[in-house]
Amino acid sequence: MEHHRAPRGRNRAAAISAAAVLLAAVGCSGGAKDDGGLTSGTADVSKLATQKLNWKACAAPTAAEGTGSAPSPPPGGGEWKCATMKAPLDYADPKAGTIDIALIRAEATDKDHRIGSLIFNFGGPGGSGVTTLPAAASDYGALRARYDLVSFDPRGVGASAPVQCENDSQLDTYFAQDATPDDAAKEKTYLDGLKSFAGACEDNSGKVLPHVGTTSAARDMDLLRQVVGDPKLYYMGISYGTELGGVYAHLFPKNVGRAVFDAVVDPTSDVEQGAIGQAKGFQLALDNFAQDCVNRGDKCLLRGANVKEVEDVIVKLLAQLNTKPIPAGNSGRLLGQTQATNGIAQALYSKEYWQLLEQGVDEAEGGNGALLLALSDAMNGRSKDGTYSNIQAANAAINCADFKQRYTLEQTKAKLPEFHRASPVFGDFMGWGLMGCSAWPVAGQWTTPDVSAPGAPPIVVVGNTGDPATPYQGAKNMVDKLGPGVGVELTYKGQGHGAYNSGDKCVQSAVNGYLLDGRVPSAGAVCQ
């Protein structure tokens, strides 16, 4: 769930780098004009496929990737190495020059039985793979035995020709504005904010905006496959990474090796259907959170004898914040309705964060919005020092480059009742998000992506029945659209976003069995 945008799910792992901020709680810069990794000259794609990568010790993340230090050594020994790969800015126009794609790798520990490179995309769109892979690496020890673990910042993201829009102080204002306007003055402020944001993106990153879509990123992955020397692509795509993987499989079905899609974006959903699906998904997750609270009785900080009563506490809090924001600790910042809704959604990405949601709502009821604001900041890529990664700028740019739909104010307002019925907590927020691309300077490519992949080998598609961000139905629809003999569905009856990273042994055994030994799970298998 992304602020002001037509959303697509982010993997739980994409928030791991923010988890330290949250759990320590509480306590990029946008708009920077530089070359953004752009180079001049002509891109010869065939020559780029044979380029040699210069792997070296990883530096600390760039501003656009988010603050932090260089990655700690991976579990199991060795070290993280980073490199940059040259890719065409525009695959249709090689004379437009190249961009740099940032890469990270931890080499396989059992080199005698190495299969190849397992390439990860953790979602977003807009998440940095270079920062997320080291943060999530403890989950992938079994896979690292026989694979080099490799990830990348997709074009427009992090250190790969990053899209830059507004600066940090402008983003603080942008993310604090009312994203569910309820009068004409607030509507004007909301629309003006969208126009200013899109204008800043065009001013600072106009050259890359037409070329950051998912199709170009999929072509980058095939280039990366060739550059690391693999005859086939070995891939784990999570959340938006499943859409990227589906587009790759459509473009290059014969180049797919072993691929796993986890937390599946529904390829049959257009912008509106996807947003409605997420509203229902987050509402389901909130219902599950509330039921857990009821089950714990007096041990839960939130009042309520049933799910509705617990959720009424949250609805009432959000209504109060709409008219009267509250202080966020001693930060000098305020928590309003939009940030609180955003923070609640962030905490629903993983069951591990439910305790933070409970504590955050309880503290906000008492007049302290610090924890909910920290959760919202994590969603928006804001570090404690006030700097932003470019995750939301990239998210907007990739979504708007992909999807054709552009919604007017009148169209959006007409759809709000349906959204509110889908979720009394998240519906309005998601409905207004339909306007995320309304002022965007670049046209979109599709209504829905084509992921049909006749001739591809089996692709394991993992759906989680309790997933808020990528509802379970998306996995079934991905299997159908990949085509006969390609998609193989595995169901996980769990909570949170994604399945493999939940730690469930059944899911991990099935996925590892396929990626390591080529054992295809039984179609329709269930882990619970």
239 is catalytic: yes
497 is catalytic: yes
- The DSSP secondary-structure symbol of 447 reads S
Element of type H or E holding 509: helix 505-517
Residue 304 is which amino acid? G
Two tokens at 506?
């059944």
SS3 content of the chain, % helix, strand, coil (to 5): 45, 15, 40
Q: Are strands 256-262 and 233-238 parallel, antiparallel or unpaired?
A: parallel
Two tokens at 473?
């139905």
Beta bridge partners, 491, equal: 463, 526
Phi/psi for 415 (5° steps) reads: -90, -10
Two tokens at 384?
């404690």
For residue 385, what are the contacts with CB-CB under 8 A and spacing of at least 6? 67
> Under DSSP, is residue 508 helix (H, G, I), strand (E, B) or coil?
helix
User: Are 146 and 113 within 8 A, CB to CB?
Assistant: yes
Catalytic, out of 178, 216, 497, 502? 497
Catalytic, out of 148, 220, 230, 467? 467
DSSP 150-177: EEE--TTSTTSS----S-HHHHHHHHHS
Give the whole-angstrom CA distance, residue 390 versus residue 30: 7
User: How many C-alpha atoms does 198 have within 13 Å on its Cβ side?
Assistant: 21
Could you tell me which of 505, 345, 343, 508 has the C-alpha nearest to residue 423? 345
Element of type H or E holding 57: strand 56-57
- The DSSP secondary-structure symbol of 26 reads -
Catalytic, out of 17, 239, 376, 389? 239
Q: Are strands 56-57 and 81-88 parallel, antiparallel or unpaired?
A: antiparallel
168 is catalytic: no
Give the whole-angstrom CA distance, residue 33 versus residue 440: 19
Give the whole-angstrom CA distance, residue 81 versus residue 108: 12
Could you tell me which of 61, 147, 69 has the C-alpha nearest to residue 108? 147
Catalytic machinery residues: 239, 467, 497
